[in-house]
Structures are given as C-alpha cells and as structure tokens.
Chains A and B, each alone.
Chain A
Amino acid sequence: MSRATRKWARFVATAGVVALIAACAPGSDDDGDDGDAGGDTTADADGDADADADGDTDPSDLGELTLVVWDQEVRGGQSEQIDALNEAFEAEYPNITIERVSRSTDDLRTTLRLALSDDDAPDVVQANNGRTDMGQYVASGLLEPLDSYAGTYGWFDRFPESVRSLAMYSDDGEVYGDGALYGLPQMGEIVGLYYSKPKLDELGIDPPATHDEFVAALEAADDAGELPIQFGNLNPFAGIHEYGFVQNQFVDAETIRNLGFGRPGSSWLEPESVEATETIMDWVDAGYFTDGFAGLDYDDSWQQFTQGEGVFLVAGTWLLADLDGAMGDDVGFILPPAGASGQNLVTGGISIPFAIPSNSDNKDAAAAYIDFITNSEAMATVADAGNLPVVDAEQQEASGLQADVFEAWAQAGAEDLLVPYLDYATPTFYDTITAAIQDLLGGQRAPQDFLEHLEAEYVEQVGS
C-alpha cells in the first residue's frame, strides 16, 4: 500500500464518517428545528389571532410583504379565476404582492411534503383534505389551525358544517371530520348523474328520481340498443365514484360516513353493502356499462358520452364546464336516485382546500387572502368561470346544466345528503379500494371477498 493510497483510504474513511453523521434518523434533526420554530410561530400566531379577534387587523396595516401562494388550479377556467381574484386582492391591498406558484394536482402533492417542512414554507397552499395529505400534515404540526381566524372572519357562519368537517382534524390528525379547521375550499363537488336529454326523450323516460326508476331506465336503454351507462375505469379513481354511486342507493348516510371517514361503528359486511356490491356486478354482467370499460380512459369515456354514446354518465361536477361546452342543452344533471334510505345521497365534498403552513411568516395576510378568495364576491367569480361555488350557489345566476348542478348542490346541502369519498378512510385506502374495485368489476374478486378485503383495512384503522 503506497502512501498515497493510504491517504486516499483515509479520505474515503473520513468522507464515510461525515456521511454517516449527516445520515441521522430521518426527520429527527428537522423535527427539532420544526418543533422550536413551530412552537414560536404558533405562539405568535395565537397572539396575532387574539388581536384579530379584537377586530384590529387590517391587511393594509401589515406593511410591504410578498405572499407566496401554491395552488393547483391549472385548468383553463379555474386558473383564470385565481388570476382574477389575485389581481383584485393586490388592488385592494397594494402593500401585498402575491407570488403565485401553480402546479398540477399530482405535482403539487409530491412537492408539498418537502415545502411544508421547510423553514421557508409558502404562505398559502392547497392541501388535499384526505388523510394521506392533510391528515399527515396536521399530525406533523405543519398546518396552522384556522379556528381563531374563523372567528374573525365569520367562517363558521358562512360555511356549513358539512363543508367545514371535510377539512377538520383532531390535533394528532387521527380523527377526521371533527376538531380544528385547517382549510377552506372555493368550490364544491358532487358525483351525480349526467343524462342525455335527447336519448331519454327517445326512450320516453323522465330523469329517474328513485332506484327503481333508474333500473327501469337502464333496462329500457339496453332494450333499445343504447349503452345505458358510459364508464371508463382505466384510471383507477373512476371506480370509487361508480361504486359510491351504487352504494348510495342501498346504504344509509351514517354508515357511509363512518366507512368513508374511517370512524368506528359501522361495517362493510352489512347486508345493504352486499346488496349494493351484487347490484353493480349484475349491471356489469348485463352489459350496462361501456364494453371494455376496464381499458377505457376516463377522459375518453366522458368524451364518448358527449358524442352520443351512453344514456347516463356518473361523474363529478368538475366536468360541468366541459360537458356544458360540448353538449349544451342536450345534457342534464341530477342527484343519484334515492334508494332504500329514501334520500338522494350523493358522494362529494369540496375542491382542494386552501390552508396555511405553520412555517409561513405571513399568517395574518394569508388568512386575509383565504377569506378574500372565498367571500361572496369570489363565489360570483367562481360561478362566472363556469364552476360550482362551495357556498352561495343558489344566489348565482345560472342556466342550463349549470343551473341543474347548482340546484343539486343546494338540495344536497339543505337535506344533508353529502357523503364522503370512500378513499378518505385510511391513509392507504385509496390504493386498497381502487385496486379492489378493479378486481371486483374484472371478476377477480367475488362480492363477499371484496367486502371482507375492505372491512379488514377499515377494522385495522378504527381498531374495533
């Protein structure tokens, strides 16, 4: 071994040691920093918030500052809507400059984890309200509870409980749907039933209000050689909507909410769930869904619907603008038919809520911003852009399909018909249920096996 080699070996050894020292437990070092920083800022925020509660906070008194906002509204109409609101906010408060960072949902989701734990976090972020995202952020103390701001701005009166609960968590992130408020949405969304008006007219059928009427309509459509339900399940999320749509016609609201939020007290194995699961399989066997739906892309599917393939389409209000543009007066929207419960239960919730990271330096301005983009003027802007405002929908002027959607949303709110997406239940339930539904519809899992598979993960989560 030459001297140089030994020197080299020493260098490698030192480098290795340095690397190992740097490689301490993940999250531990950051954790310490965060803990301190978090503690400080929380105290500050509380102080400020108390001041807010006294009513002496005006965003224009906050001095010159730059507000960094991360949103995921990249689609045409929604992006314009945010731009318009940002401009209005800057005009109202010239001392505040908004720096907008806009990414697609998936991109935002993957970068948000790192951004939130950074000391230089954004001031406002759109954080997905499910357990996988918001739940974990709350558990790690990375989001600011908004309750004190809610008092200042009157959010508790403005947003109904059913909307707020979708962004509420206990401090440890374990309980979903209860606890402190962590975000506010701009838009509502429900997964309802789009129908082709000319096709229903041809069949001589009215839009179905009950499960029995809906089944009769499916049979009539099938007999007439029409495709009863347009459906594409290549993108796994579509299955959750389709299954939820059928489940809503058999199972009562309380059970679905417990299952959806991952709360104890219910079971996937009750007879109603079995019946729902067997019904959707009957429809698959009867050929009521698009031929080859397992390999059909989601976007291709609804585009085929706009081209006249399919009498019904089960989809969310996020397609409102697209379907309206493509079909105009030929398309209508209703809540899912009422089943055993007698209620038109509808899967739905809110668009991704805006939240304030704990590491933000401008929390008061951030809260003012969130209030600004969700106040009644903002709701009018949302409606103008062709979307469904989360509140005040009934006050907006709308016609055609938009009017149908607004009416359905208002009814869902008034009659408390909203049930959550099924994948909220556990941090990994999205994967579990999407794969399980594909397995079910593909004939790889029997209905009973499917339900037991879901029950196992639900039981593990609620610990019952």
Chain B
Amino acid sequence: MGSMAGTHAADRAADTPATRRRRRSSGPPGEPRRLAYLYILPAVAVFATFIGFPLVRSATFSFYEWDGLGSSTWVGLANYTAVFSDPTLRGAFFHALVLIVFYAVIPVSLGLLLAATMMRARRMRGLGLFRVLIFLPQVVPMVVVAIAWRQIYGPEGPLNSLLRGVGLDGLARPWLGDYTWALPSVGLVGTWVGTGLCFVLFLAGMAKIQRELYEAARLDGAGPLREFFTITLPSVRGELAVALTLTVIAALKTFDLVYVMTSGGPGNRTAVPSYEVYRHAFLIGEVGTAAALALVLTAIVFVATVIINRIGDDGQGPAGPPATRGIRALLRRRHDDPPTTVTSAPSGALSTPAASDEGGRRR
C-alpha cells in the first residue's frame, strides 16, 4: 500500500524527463504506453457508438413496458421474470439448446471426421471437388438456403418423394408441420450449412501437423484411432475452439431459417429466442420484453463463448499463461510453439520437439 501511494505521488510529481524515463524502463520497449490509447481511440469510439450505446439503451428498455410508440411504464425486473416464466419464451431457449446439437455438435464431429479422413487420403481423386461441395452451403445466403429446404421438406417435396420411391411411405410426413420433426428438420439445415465451415477449419489445422508425428506414432504401434485421438485432435484444439464458438453462437442466434421456413410453427414448436425478440419488438409491440430477451440471449452467448474457450484450453492446464488458451492460443501458436506432447506419457517418451511453422526440420 505504502509503495503504491509512493508511486502515485511520484506520478503526480510532475513529468520530469527522469521520471518518464524511469517509468518507460519498466514497460516493454517501443512507444510510450499512453500513446497506445490514442491508437485504439477510433476503434473504441466506433464500438461505443454502435455496440456500447445500443447495449445500454436496450438495457434501459428492458426495465420498462413500452410499445415502441408512446410513453413507457417502469416495471423493474418484470420483463426478466417474464422471460423465465412465460412457457413460450422458456420453450424458445430450450429449442435453442436443441439447435446447438444440430448446429454445433454434429457439424464439428462430422467436420473432424471428414477432415481426418481426407488427410489420410491425400491422393484421393476429386478431393478438391469434395472440398468445394462440402463448403458450398457456406457461400449461399441463408434465405436462399431456407427457401430451398422449405421446398425439399414440403409434403410433396423431393424428400418425401424419395422416401416413397424407396418404399418408406411410413416415414414420409409434412416435415415442417410435424410437431416432433419440425425442429430437427430446421436443425438439420443448420448441420448442412455448418459442416462445411468446420471441415475447412479442421482441414487447415490438420495440414499444419508434422507428418513425423504420425510416423513416430505408427512406429510405436498406434492405429488410426489412436493417431486421431493422440495427435490429430490435440493439434486442432485451437480450431476446435473457433469452430465451436462460431457454431454455438450461430445456433443461439438462429433467426433466418425459422423466419423463412416455419414462422415459429407449428404451434410454437420452432420458436427460438431471436425470432421471439423480433416478434415482440416489431410485431406485437412489447419492446421491453424483447429487450430483456435480447439481453438474456446476449449473456448466454457470452457465457457460452467463455466456457468454450476454457474447453479450447491448450492442455497446459489453468496454470498456463493466458495466451495459450483457445483462440488466443491459435493466434499465438504461429509465433512460438510450445512443444506438442503427443501422449500423456512423461514428456520425452514420445514427444517431438518443436512442431513449428518453420517446417519439419529435426533437431
């Protein structure tokens, strides 16, 4: 405490060149630190105007009952209570959880499987074509995707024709109007779209893995499964975190597919939080509820992102420096790779030094 007060006092004691030099010497070399704030000022200004201010404003709205037009009434936390007590709104969050399975879990698993398979079959013919085909859904606008799939799922649509064609008449149904199947049907479109992104991410991650690692593993008698779990999967941990972050956020924010394909129906079986926000704010004039719902959704997305980045931890444990975790780890690994541990055995038994970007040089 005393030393801190002393520092403050020193700070206040005029900006003599001496003090400046002293303080400078404690920081990293380069520009004076104060100047850094000037550099980020434009970004902060943009952030404050377009994200910070709307966020604060939404937070204000969420405490009022307001139809978006006239005067408003302070209702305290009533809107938040409604978000958790209204069965429709609660249902919307449950549906979002179901969609996470379809948007994130399945595409990430499929993407890993596809990428790992393709890495093993590098000389397969038509590989480029497969890559393009799998990634294609990513470049098609979601509304187009939704309209196309609405046709596919139609009672007389291609899907049902196919089922009837192969004698599975019992399975044919009006998919988007079916109380059990509407939500999975919407989710499956998310899977179709998301898999391409995951696949390409993992493919890029796996391309960086040193072939020597696999050689070493094989010499030690590892099979394909063992290779996957001890080399491939840990090596793409950063990509895994990125893929999960992006797809989970996409799942929680789903709007376009539901808006175009089902309007939340049948009943409320495909209502999702974002669609409910739109409905409350613009269609039925309950801006307060919409704002509360949007903020709860934002909080959930935020928490989910933090958790996923913990999962994406580089394997160094919580003791590791922050920069080795999740997305940051991915960014950093290009510069200073920590040695990659291949197995959980004591390091040295199977560890290879430096899987770095410099190439496969052996030390």
Contact = CB atoms under 8 A, between A and B. Distances in A.
A295 B182 CA distance: 9
A110 B285 CA distance: 10
A292 B161 CA distance: 13
5 contacts: A26-B60, A28-B71, A293-B174, A431-B279, A438-B177
A117 B67 CA distance: 12
Nearest to B176: A295
A439 B266 contact: yes
A19 B51 CA distance: 12
Q: Please list the 4 inter-chain residue pairs (A to B) with the smallest Cβ-Cβ separation, ordered nearest first.
A: A295-B174, A294-B177, A292-B155, A295-B177
A295 B69 contact: no
A438 B266 contact: yes
A442 B67 contact: no
Interface string B265-283: 1111000000000010011
A27 B284 contact: no
Contacts, number: 144
Interface residues of B, number: 50
A230 to B, nearest CB: 12
A293 B265 CA distance: 13
A134 B336 CA distance: 63
A2 interface: yes
Given A294-B174, A294-B266, A442-B177, A26 B64 contact: yes
Contact of B33 (A2, A15, A137): A2
Interface of A: 1-4, 8, 15, 19-20, 22-28, 31, 109-110, 113, 116-117, 132, 136-137, 139-142, 233-236, 290-297, 300, 304, 427-428, 430-431, 434-436, 438-439, 442, 444
A4 B155 contact: no
B237 interface: no
A26 B72 contact: yes
A139 to B, nearest CB: 6
Interface string B166-201: 000000011111110000000000000000000000
A439 B284 CA distance: 21
Interface in B46-72: 48, 52-53, 56-57, 59-61, 64, 66-72
Given A294-B177, A295-B178, A19 B52 contact: yes
Nearest to B64: A26
Nearest to B67: A136
**Residue with the highest number of chain A CB atoms closer than 10 Å, among B48, B150, B156, B264:** B156
Nearest to A173: B70
A85 to B, nearest CB: 29
B332 interface: no
Given A3-B11, A8-B37, A444 B155 contact: no
Given A1-B8, A292-B155, A293-B177, 7 more contacts: A4-B37, A25-B60, A109-B282, A132-B283, A139-B70, A295-B174, A442-B266
A161 to B, nearest CB: 28
A23 B70 CA distance: 16
Nearest to A429: B284
Nearest to B56: A19
Nearest to A428: B284
A127 B362 CA distance: 74
A271 B268 CA distance: 28
Contacts of B66: 26-27
A236 B275 CA distance: 15
A109 B278 CA distance: 12
Contacts of B154: 295-297, 300
Given A3-B11, A26-B61, A442-B177, A132 B285 contact: yes
B153 interface: yes
Contacts of B70: 27, 31, 136, 139-141
A25 B75 CA distance: 11
